[in-house]
Amino acid sequence: MILDRQDLPSLWDYTHGLFLIGSLVFSLILFGLIICWHEGLISTLIFVDKSRLCFAIGFLFFVGLVHCAIRTIYLSSQINIAFNVINKCKSKSNSLNIENEQVKVGDEKVPVNSLFGNYLASLKNISERTDDTINSSNTVDILIARTKGSHDIGWFLVDVLLKLGLMGTIVGFVLMLGSVANAETLNVDTMQNILQQMSLGMGTALFTTLTGLTCSLLLGLQYLVLDKGADKLIEQILEFSDTGLE
């Protein structure tokens, strides 16, 4: 029997798939940092960067990683709640009820404080209302905002890291030009001093740019995984609400 590629489960289909993928990406980033430290690249960066922008880039990168970790754990738990209920209620029609502040899909209970439970409770309230003050499209917008709202902070950090790297380029060239402008005489000793200061300025420009670009790409990869997990959760919730409920 030959399996079609579409029949093979992806990592997203496993329990806590988002957490597994996020942990894999984080482990690769940590491994790369350890290699850079072992090879002396980080100590060289600290010595060469006279603008100290790399410290700001590193701090913001760490803040972004912490935020990614928190969001990964939260979204992974929300995906797990939704997937468990959806898999148990698959291939049958299920009634949606709210009893004693508990959301029930058929015989399965859904935590009302979860994204899935909150969305189902909103659908139930809409079906029981007689006015048109709330509609399903507004509920979908609220679901998307609650699922992906704080990711804008992460993408802002990604853009800031890139801009700080480019700012380091400008600062490095300013240091290079300043070493030439401050020279009063041009003899052998002065030229050696100018070349040394120009090399430090060039090192500042290149290292800050490299650090900003690298951190921006790595953090962007983390938030890309988060957005993919959020999209997967929203897709499953909307599909189930359209086809799995009476």
For the stretch 76-125, pLDDT in tens is 888 888 888 777 776 666 677 776 667 777 777 777 788 878 887 777 77
pLDDT given at position 23: 87
Better pLDDT: 94 or 69: 69
Q: Does residue 2 lie within any of the structural domains?
A: no
Structure tokens at 13: 């289909």
- CA–chain centroid gap for 228, Å, is 10
Question: If you ran DSSP here, which 8-state letter would residue 245 be given?
Answer: B
Q: Does residue 76 lie within any of the structural domains?
A: yes
Q: Does residue 4 lie within any of the structural domains?
A: no
Strand pairing category for 102-105 and 96-99: antiparallel
| Position 9 confidence tier, pLDDT thresholds 50, 70, 90 | very low
| Position 3 confidence tier, pLDDT thresholds 50, 70, 90 | very low
Please determine, for residue 62, whether its predicted confidence score (pLDDT) is greater than 90.
yes
Q: Does residue 88 lie within any of the structural domains?
A: yes
Question: Which structural domain range is residue 149 located in?
Answer: 11-243
Q: Does residue 5 lie within any of the structural domains?
A: no
Render pLDDT for 172-223 as a digit per residue (tens, 0 to 9): 888 777 766 666 666 666 667 767 777 777 878 888 998 999 999 999 999 9
Determine contact, residues 90/106, Cβ cutoff 8 Å: no
pLDDT given at position 206: 86
Helix (H, G, I), strand (E, B) or coil at 105: strand
Please determine, for residue 8, whether its predicted confidence score (pLDDT) is greater than 50.
no
- The one-letter amino acid at 16: H
Report CA-CA distances (Å) from 163 to 44, 54, 215, 219, 245: 22, 12, 11, 14, 48
pLDDT given at position 159: 94
Determine contact, residues 168/54, Cβ cutoff 8 Å: yes
* Cα dihedral 235, 239, 240, 241 sign: positive
Q: Does residue 3 lie within any of the structural domains?
A: no
Give the number of residues written for the chain: 246
Mean pLDDT score, 215-241: 88
List the beta bridge partners of residue 102. 99
Q: Does residue 6 lie within any of the structural domains?
A: no
Render pLDDT for 113-160 as a digit per residue (tens, 0 to 9): 888 788 877 777 766 654 554 556 678 888 888 888 788 889 999 999
Please determine, for residue 11, whether its predicted confidence score (pLDDT) is greater than 60.
no
- Count of domains in the chain? 1
Structure tokens at 70: 């928190």
Distance CA 67, CA 65 (A): 5
Distance CA 72, CA 66 (A): 10
Render pLDDT for 12-51 as a digit per residue (tens, 0 to 9): 566 677 888 888 888 999 998 899 888 888 888 888 888 8
What is 145-179 written as a DSSP string?
Answer: HHHHTTHHHHHHHHHHHHHHHHHHHHHHHHHHHHH
pTM, full prediction:
0.81
Q: Does residue 238 lie within any of the structural domains?
A: yes
Q: Which residues of 33-59 are buried (b: 16+ CB within 10 A; e: fewer)?
A: eeeeeeeeebeebeebbbbebbebbbe
